[in-house]
């Protein structure tokens, strides 16, 4: 009997040894070049473009090998956190802007200010730079940007007898053109993000656009308390509730614009690139409408790059790559290939880029212009919890279950609770 | 071969009948008849060594990669860990106390209990009905089996995506209803309709498993008793109600336990179908703990919820065990 | 005779009605996989209206799916083999042998079955990382080499086989291991087939663990590849459905191959007494 067991064990050992032969360890590069691992969630064209740029960089820069790895967006933070607990973090991580404060909590992000050339840093859009500045450390720099703008269905506009080249520029115009659209086509004029869902962010970041437009604030300057329970907050929320009450917007799941069930929505600049190849309808873009007694504003999104301080050589190598990536030439080609907005002012205002936009993606133009006054969200690690708490209370006002004043008060309470719990 | 290979156990008569006709002795595992009733040692040394050798591979793997993490997680549930910081602050039973006072938890528990009840009931019903339908010399049985098993073979994510699209206000389901002259509701926007849709999706996903479980249990039911009942004038419905269903109690128990585990742990389906909304209407425990642990970075709390879930399922299973009349330890 | 035919027809009708309910979503998947991106926004049609067969090619080439397929197969083969072997040995011990702490160990295993996965996944990942098994087949396979469901399933089956068969063999001088291999295993083929299907499905559809444990394309599996179609800025439904359908094929094949034994397998696992 023991002999049989020994035979089995031997078989097992042979099998495992065979498996070892098959096991590949992603460990290329010779001993005197530095390996830098990059994680990102880009896919499709964006991923291909990035990989091509990385190949160029590897070919033209001796002594460093950059390796990229795509991690699906939905599980990105989970995988990153698992790596944090086991010291298998990548060197460079490119993730959503909103994640930066949480990733900073890991405690090992490098301060990029001394590692990047001063002129590169200065060239970056200030709203994004300040977002990435936490506790006086530059923990992240943007590598792509997007924002929210007004996307509308030109066919529905025509059907309603409106000029498809004259989208509304203010809230008041939106309401009046909206009434016409509702009357002539029976479809809602504007899509709001009315549901909190499981993270609240869709609602929150859409609402912040209108909040900022009337001069309101979401959190206090130091992110220690809610700041939206003000007359400005009420004005913004009333704008939403009025749209719903008058039938110009409906409460429901997001996505009606793509199905041509509504005439317009505030949606991201990325939609321009996605829809250009294969348009579900004839769409136009414009800057986000703001109230006549307010000022234009929009919300910034995009990807930010962070460097984990795994070792001095890798950290410097990663920073060098970022510096190269943020040079005007790379920012220009990156933006043109992906349809993302340039993060550096020099490129965003350059004739080259603007010329390219007008020739190739004219519908991107309003978004580019908005970069001048676009704002970024609060950079607190509690932001996801805050956003969810906020959205869960606000959606009750949208369904009519709760008054505007109560919803804002409840939301303020909920958000402050989150902050207090820390 | 030193001895003739026994034929495979027949599947057309009950095991009890088989045992009685073939062997008159007891079926206590592995024990040779003792002589003259002399007291035997509690464990035989050789047997224990063999047991250790047989158990070792599986227990080593499970011990390292499953059991140890469970204990590790047990410790985490007593901390306020956020999931990634190097520091884990011990807070004792605070997480569990917090659970009892958290309205979101109670909502989640309510939703999950309703969901589990629906899933278990419908799993039993659908599995039994399909199995009864297949339990006759029907042409193309294999094809039907394959078709009904298809959902089980698809990944949960794909299945939920498809259902979500079909339940969209302008999706397939509503357009069919429109043809019939009925105005279809916004399925996934009403909290109870959404929960119903989720329940149906879950049952749909597992109908193949459940039907096949029941089908095989049906194959082993004794024909003779049925014939006698038929001669006595019992209708099909009566035979099913008074004979088949009671005889299938053990299998029903198994299907119910599987349904419980599925619904208490359900995450992929819910996440893709509704994301836990609307307004917490489909926030089953699986979603709730994921949200606490990963979205809100309250890993300690999320883990505590997971343990509560574990105790609930285990508890219900043991209660069910008694109700199914088995009354013995799971190891017989 | 007529009555039986009527009943049979009735059964067919009911089965077909149910089958269409079951198959509808697949039809939808198939239809979507053949649409262009713009068409995927209108969600009403369940029957194909456009036939972009090239979607399957595009989906295949979007990532190194050939390598992903290979890795999924290797991982599934490893896991299925592991389950069949390790679970069988352990199940035999529970079914036939007496040893201390038997009940206690079993309850612990039950708990392992009922614990939500995310609870164990992070500590398990840390372990695997510390072994240096990231981006290796080791990391994909070894932690899942045994599972509790299989142990319980096989244990039930073994227990339903009369012990006297082995007793007879042992009297004739066969060792315990010998009876295991010469009596239990041959008689338990249906149960092994059942377990093979369940284990294959588990391994093939598994997503989170392979995602955590692999970083490079050389080691990634099919499900990770498919998730790339759900980007941050929108999902390519047509390619996702094409890829998913392509990925479902091996599961269907495995089921069709083993399904005849499946029926007998669960029957004889002693669950109906």
Please name the residues in contact with C10: beta carbons below 8 A apart, sequence gap of 6 or more: none
Give yes or no for a contact between C237 and C183, defined as CB atoms under 8 angstroms apart.
no
For chain A, domains (ranges, CATH) are 34-145+302-375 (3.40.190.10), 163-300+382-421 (3.40.190.10)
Which letter, b or e, does each residue of C224-263 get, where b requires 16 or more Cβ atoms within 10 Å of its Cβ? bbbbbbbbbbbebbbbbbbbbbbbbebbeebbeebbebbb
Cα–Cα distance measured from residue B274 to residue B201, given in angstroms and rounded to the nearest whole number: 12
CB count within 10 Å of CB B233 equals 7
> Which residues in chain B touch residue C15, judged by CB atoms under 8 angstroms apart?
130, 133-134, 138, 144
Measured torsion, CA atoms of residues B306, B308, B311, B315, in degrees rounded to the nearest 10: -130
In-domain check, residue B128: yes
Instruction: Read off the CATH number of the domain in which B308 is found.
Output: 1.10.3720.10
Higher pLDDT, A357 or C228: A357
In CATH, what number does C61-267 get? 1.10.3720.10
Structural element, H or E, at residue C73: helix C65-82
Q: Give the per-residue pLDDT at C273.
A: 34
Quick one: pLDDT band at residue A55, thresholds 50, 70, 90?
Answer: very high
Determine the distance in angstroms separating the CA of B139 from the nearest CA of chain A, rounded to an integer.
Answer: 44
What pLDDT score does A230 carry? Answer: 95
Inspect the interface and report whether the beta carbons of B84 and A395 lie closer than 8 Å. no
Residue B69 located in a structural domain: no
Altogether, the residues listed in chain B come to a count of 332
From A245's Cα to the closest Cα of chain B, the distance in A is 18
Task: Decide if B319 is inside a domain.
Answer: yes
Q: Is the pLDDT of residue C171 over 80?
A: yes
Neighbours of chain A (3+ CB pairs under 8 A): B, C
Q: Which of A53-57, B328-332, C38-42 is predicted least confidently?
A: B328-332
Q: Is the pLDDT of residue A8 over 70?
A: no
Within a domain: B53: no
Residues in Cβ contact with B100 at an 8 Å cutoff, skipping those fewer than 6 apart: none
Work out how many CB contacts closer than 8 A connect A with C.
Answer: 107
Chain B, chain C: beta-carbon pairs less than 8 Å apart: 309
Find tokens 């679970």 and name the residue.
Answer: C87
pLDDT number for residue B11: 42
CA–CA gap between residue A58 and residue A53 (Å, rounded):
9
Look at B83 and A81 and tell me if their CB atoms are within 8 Å: yes
Say whether residue A196 is in contact with chain B using an 8 A CB cutoff. yes
Residue B165 lies in a domain: yes
Q: Using a pLDDT cut of 70, give the percent of chain C over it.
A: 93
> B141-153 vs C237-267: helix axis angle to the nearest 10?
120
How close B101 gets to chain C, by Cα (Å)?
22
- Higher pLDDT among residues A7 and C142, named by residue: C142
Q: Which two tokens stand for residue B165?
A: 């699209």
- Residues of chain A contacting residue B53, judged by C-beta atoms under 8 Å apart: 5
Least confident piece of the model among A51-60, A188-197, C20-29: C20-29
Chains touching B, CB cut-off 8 Å, 3+ pairs: A, C
Burial C16-30 (b: 16+ CB within 10 A, else e): eebbeebbbbbebbb
Question: Is the pLDDT score of C33 beyond 80?
Answer: yes
| Sites in chain B below the pLDDT cut of 70 | 1-41, 216, 219-222, 321-332
pLDDT band at residue A239, thresholds of 50, 70 and 90? Answer: very high
Six-digit token pair at C123? 């500590």
Asked if pLDDT for residue A358 goes beyond 90, the answer is yes
In-domain check, residue B68: no
When pLDDT is averaged across residues C3-11 and rounded to a whole number, the result is 82
Distance of CA A55 to the CA centre of its chain: 25
pLDDT digits (tens, 9 = 90+) for C208-227: 899 999 998 899 999 999 88
Distance from CA of C216 to the nearest CA of B (A): 23
CA distance B131 to B115: 23
Of B5, B67, B309, nearest to C116 by CB-CB distance is B309
Query: Is this prediction's ipTM beyond 0.90?
Result: no
| A226 vs B229, more confident | A226
* Chain B residues closer than 8 Å to A12 by CB: 57
The pLDDT confidence band at residue A23, using thresholds 50, 70 and 90, is very low
The tokens describing B161, both together, are 């995506």
From chain A residues 276-305, the ones with a CB under 8 A of any chain C CB are: 277-280
Q: What is the pLDDT of residue B226?
A: 78
> For chain B, what is the domain count?
1
Of C135, C175, C232, the CB nearest to A26: C135
Q: Identify the pLDDT of residue A421.
A: 83
Summarised one tens digit per residue, pLDDT across range C75-110 is 999 999 999 999 999 999 999 999 999 988 988 898
> How far does B93 lie from chain C, in Å, by closest CA?
17
CA atoms within 13 A on the CB side of C202: 23
Task: Return the structure tokens found at B132.
Answer: 């009864």
Residues of chain C within CATH 1.10.3720.10 domain(s) are 61-267
Domain span at residue B193? Answer: 102-224+237-323
Which chain B residue shows the shortest CA-CA distance from A1? B50
- Chain B residues contacting A, CB < 8 Å? 50, 53, 57, 82-86, 168-170, 186, 188-189, 271, 275-279, 283, 287, 291, 294-297
Q: Does some domain include residue B188?
A: yes
pLDDT, residue A326, reads 96
| Structural tokens at position B102 | 């958290």
Confidence of residue A85 (pLDDT cuts 50, 70, 90): confident
Work out the average pLDDT over C39-52: 77
In a domain, residue B199? The reply is yes
- Can you give the pLDDT at residue A7? 59
**Residue A374 pLDDT level (bands cut at 50, 70, 90):** very high
Nearest to C41 among A67, A270, A280 (CB): A280
Helices (H), chain B: 15-22, 45-62, 68-76, 94-100, 103-134, 141-153, 156-166, 172-179, 191-219, 223-231, 236-239, 245-247, 249-265, 268-273, 285-290, 299-323
**Looking at the predicted structure, is the pLDDT value of residue A347 above 90?**
yes
By mean pLDDT, which of A88-97, A135-144, C26-35, C182-191 is the weakest? C182-191
Nearest to C233 by CA among B201, A225, A274: A274
Over the stretch A265-313, which tens digit does the pLDDT of each residue have?
999 999 998 888 788 899 999 999 999 999 999 999 999 999 999 999 9
Tell me the CA distances in angstroms from B299 to A80, A82, A100, A195, B289, one per residue in order.
15, 12, 19, 25, 9
């Amino acid at each position: 009997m023991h002999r049989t067991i020994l035979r089995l064990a031997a078989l097992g050992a042979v099998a495992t040894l065979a498996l070892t032969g098959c096991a590949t360890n992603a460990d290329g590069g010779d001993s005197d070049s530095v390996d830098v691992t990059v994680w990102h969630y880009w896919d499709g064209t964006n991923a291909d473009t990035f990989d091509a740029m990385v190949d160029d960089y590897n070919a033209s820069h001796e002594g460093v090998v950059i390796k990229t790895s795509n991690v699906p967006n939905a599980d990105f933070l989970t995988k990153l956190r698992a790596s944090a607990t086991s010291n298998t973090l990548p060197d460079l991580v490119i993730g959503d802007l909103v994640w930066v404060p949480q990733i900073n909590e890991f405690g090992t992000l490098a301060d990029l200010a001394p590692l990047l050339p001063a002129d590169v840093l200065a060239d970056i859009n200030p709203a994004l730079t300040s977002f990435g500045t936490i506790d006086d450390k530059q923990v992240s720099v943007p590598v792509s940007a997007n924002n929210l703008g007004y996307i509308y269905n030109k066919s529905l506009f025509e059907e309603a007898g409106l000029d498809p080249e004259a989208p509304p520029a203010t809230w008041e115009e939106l309401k009046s053109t909206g009434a016409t659209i509702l009357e002539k086509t029976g479809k809602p004029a504007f899509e709001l993000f009315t549901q909190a869902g499981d993270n609240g962010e869709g609602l929150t970041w859409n609402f912040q656009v209108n909040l900022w437009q009337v001069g309101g604030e979401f959190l206090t300057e130091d992110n220690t308390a809610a700041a939206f329970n003000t007359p400005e907050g009420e004005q913004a929320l009333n704008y939403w509730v009025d749209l719903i009450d008058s039938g110009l917007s409906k409460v429901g799941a997001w996505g009606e614009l793509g199905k041509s069930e509504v005439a317009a929505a505030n949606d991201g600049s990325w939609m321009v690139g996605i829809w250009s190849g294969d348009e579900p309808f004839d769409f136009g873009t414009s800057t986000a409408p703001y109230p006549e007694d307010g000022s234009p504003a929009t919300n910034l999104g995009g990807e930010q790059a962070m460097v984990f301080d795994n070792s001095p050589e890798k950290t410097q190598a990663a920073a060098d790559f970022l510096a190269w990536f943020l040079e005007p030439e790379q920012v220009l080609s990156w933006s043109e290939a992906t349809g993302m907005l340039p993060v550096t002012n020099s490129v965003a205002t350059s004739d080259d880029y603007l010329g390219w936009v007008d020739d190739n993606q004219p519908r991107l133009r309003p978004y580019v212009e908005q970069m001048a006054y676009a704002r970024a969200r609060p950079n607190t690690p509690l932001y996801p919890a805050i956003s969810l708490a906020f959205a869960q209370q606000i959606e009750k006002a949208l369904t009519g279950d709760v008054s505007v004043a109560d919803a804002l008060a409840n939301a303020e309470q909920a958000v402050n609770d989150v902050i207090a719990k820390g | 071969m030193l001895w003739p290979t026994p034929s495979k156990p027949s599947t057309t008569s009950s095991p009890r009948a088989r045992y009685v006709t073939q062997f008159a002795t007891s079926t206590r595992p592995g024990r040779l008849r003792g002589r003259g009733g002399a007291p035997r040692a509690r464990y035989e040394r050789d047997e224990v060594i063999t047991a250790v050798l047989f158990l070792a591979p599986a227990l080593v793997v499970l011990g390292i990669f499953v059991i140890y993490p469970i204990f590790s997680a047990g410790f985490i549930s007593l901390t306020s860990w956020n999931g990634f910081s190097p520091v884990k602050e011990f807070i004792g039973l605070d997480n569990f106390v917090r659970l009892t006072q958290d309205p979101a938890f109670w909502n989640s528990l309510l939703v999950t209990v309703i969901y589990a009840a629906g899933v278990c009931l419908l799993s039993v019903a659908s599995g039994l009905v399909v199995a009864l339908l297949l339990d006759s010399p029907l042409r193309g049985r294999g094809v039907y089996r394959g078709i009904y098993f298809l959902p089980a073979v698809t990944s949960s994510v794909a299945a939920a995506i498809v259902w979500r699209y079909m339940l969209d206000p302008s999706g397939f389901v509503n357009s069919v209803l429109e043809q019939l002259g009925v105005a279809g509701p916004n399925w996934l926007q009403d909290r109870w309709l959404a929960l119903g849709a989720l329940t149906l999706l879950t049952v749909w996903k597992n109908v193949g498993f459940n039907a096949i479980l029941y089908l095989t249990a049906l194959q082993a039911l004794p024909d003779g008793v049925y014939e006698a009942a038929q001669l006595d004038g019992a209708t099909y419905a009566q035979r099913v109600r008074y004979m088949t269903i009671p005889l299938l109690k053990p299998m029903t128990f198994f299907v119910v336990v599987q349904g419980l585990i599925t619904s208490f742990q359900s995450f992929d389906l819910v996440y893709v179908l509704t994301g836990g909304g609307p307004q917490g209407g489909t926030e089953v425990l699986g979603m709730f703990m994921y949200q606490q642990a990963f979205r809100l970075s309250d890993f300690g709390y999320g883990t505590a919820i997971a343990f509560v879930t574990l105790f609930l399922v285990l508890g219900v299973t043991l209660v069910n065990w008694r109700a199914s009349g088995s009354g013995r330890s799971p190891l017989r | 005779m007529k009555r039986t035919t009527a009943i049979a027809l009735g059964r067919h009708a009911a089965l077909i009605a149910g089958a269409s309910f079951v198959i509808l979503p697949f039809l939808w998947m198939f239809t979507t996989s053949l649409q262009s991106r713009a068409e995927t926004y209108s969600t009403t049609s369940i029957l194909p209206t456009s036939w972009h067969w090239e979607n399957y090619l595009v989906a295949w080439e979007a990532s190194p799916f050939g390598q992903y397929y290979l890795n999924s197969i290797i991982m599934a083969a490893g896991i299925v083999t592991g389950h069949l072997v390790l679970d069988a040995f352990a199940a035999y011990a529970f079914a036939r042998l007496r040893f201390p702490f038997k009940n206690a160990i079993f309850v612990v295993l039950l708990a392992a079955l009922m614990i939500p996965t995310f609870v164990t996944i992070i500590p398990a990942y840390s372990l695997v990382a510390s072994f240096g098994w990231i981006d290796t087949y080791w990391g994909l396979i070894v932690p899942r080499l045994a599972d509790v469901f299989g142990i319980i399933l096989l244990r039930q089956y073994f227990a339903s086989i009369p012990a006297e068969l082995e007793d007879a063999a042992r009297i004739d001088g066969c060792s315990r291991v010998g009876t295991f291999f010469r009596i239990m295993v041959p008689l338990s083929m249906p149960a092994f087939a059942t377990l093979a299907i369940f284990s294959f499905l588990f391994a093939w559809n598994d997503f989170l663990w392979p995602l955590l444990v692999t970083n490079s394309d050389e080691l990634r599996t099919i499900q990770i590849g498919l998730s790339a179609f759900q980007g941050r800025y929108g999902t390519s439904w047509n390619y996702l459905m094409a890829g998913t359908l392509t990925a479902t094929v091996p599961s269907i094949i495995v089921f069709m191959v083993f399904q005849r034994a499946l029926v007998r397998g669960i029957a004889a696992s002693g669950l109906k007494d």
